[in-house]
Amino acid sequence: MNMLILGHGYSAGFLTPLLIAQGWTVTGTTRSDAARVAAAGATPIVWPGQDDAVRAAIARADAILISAAPGENGDPVLAAFSDELSCGTPQWLGYLSTTGVYGDAGGGWVDETTPPAPSTSRGRARVAAEVAWQDLARAHDLPLHIFRLAGIYGPGRGPFAKLRSGTAQRVIKPGQVFSRIHAEDIAQVLLASIKAPNPGAIYNLCDDQPAPPQDIIACAAEMLAVPVPPAVDFEKADLGPMARSFYADSKRVRNDRIKRELGVTLRYPDYRSALRAILDAERAGS
């Protein structure tokens, strides 16, 4: 079986070894870091650049995962390869989206039946990309699955480096709450879907414990046995435009569907277990 991952980034690095262990051959596109893709066990294709190689990979793929984010001109994969995808015959097609499509719920709960109401430009771009993929799937009978990911963390993507450098902030915005997902749990959900396709399905990928961001920083500081950073009001916090935009939405995301339909048991159902695993992995690799 052949898997093509268009945009072989951080999350794909956790899925690829699981697929290879089950006999899959994995090909992944990258803009420039072919060595990182190869280190995960996939055959790299530099794209944009080696476009003919991507077309050939689409033609032979039994499964395709789209992990490339939309840009100013829409979805880059559809812009470059919609004709090839229309003629393809994958048994499974997955698109990685974001829970940002739901917008701000004022700290309330959302699930897959909640209508998208994005409040940021990134969220609106994701909704547009989802619709474009759904349109293509309906027109050409493609087995599309959409995965809406909460904030991703894992080894190398946690608060520990900032705490060690003294740059971590415990930003306080009253009522703010986020959902998160460990990269290993993303990989196991995708694998479960590949084994049990349900074309047209949409899944939220998040853990069981939405929490204020300052609680994550405090927990990580305790694990490192370093002082908990002082509280900083959101309006006064030193945040870049991207980081500040994440605070535009406050919501709790439900994940019942991945458990009920895919039989998934999360490895890291709460931020404390996830942070402990990240710290252990980082220490093991140092």
Q: How many domains does the chain have?
A: 1
> Rounded to the nearest 5°, which phi and psi values hold at 57?
-65, -35
Which pLDDT belongs to residue 152?
96
Is 6 within the bounds of a domain? Answer: yes
134 neighbors 144 (Cβ within 8 angstroms): yes
Taking residue 230's Cβ as centre, other Cβ atoms within 10 Å add up to 8
Is 277 within the bounds of a domain? Answer: no
Residue 286: band (very low, low, confident or very high) from pLDDT cuts 50, 70, 90: low
Higher pLDDT, 245 or 195: 195
Res 210 pLDDT > 90: yes
Kindly report, residue by residue over 30-76, the tens digit of the pLDDT.
999 999 999 999 999 999 999 999 999 999 999 999 999 999 889 99
Is 30 within the bounds of a domain? Answer: yes
The amino acid at 13: G
> What mean pLDDT do residues 4-23 have?
98
Kindly report, residue by residue over 131-175, the tens digit of the pLDDT.
999 999 999 999 999 999 999 999 989 899 989 999 999 999 999
Is 260 within the bounds of a domain? Answer: yes
* Structural domain range at position 69: 2-153+180-208+253-268
Q: What is the mean pLDDT of the chain?
A: 96
Is 236 within the bounds of a domain? Answer: no
Kindly report, residue by residue over 98-135, the tens digit of the pLDDT.
999 999 999 999 999 999 999 999 999 999 999 999 99
Which pLDDT belongs to residue 72?
86
Residue 246: band (very low, low, confident or very high) from pLDDT cuts 50, 70, 90: confident
- Distances, alpha carbon 252 to alpha carbons 187, 202, 240, 255, in Å: 21, 17, 24, 10
Distance, CA of 178 to CA of 150 (rounded, Å): 8
Crossing angle between the packed helical segments 213-224 and 271-285, to the nearest 10 degrees: 40
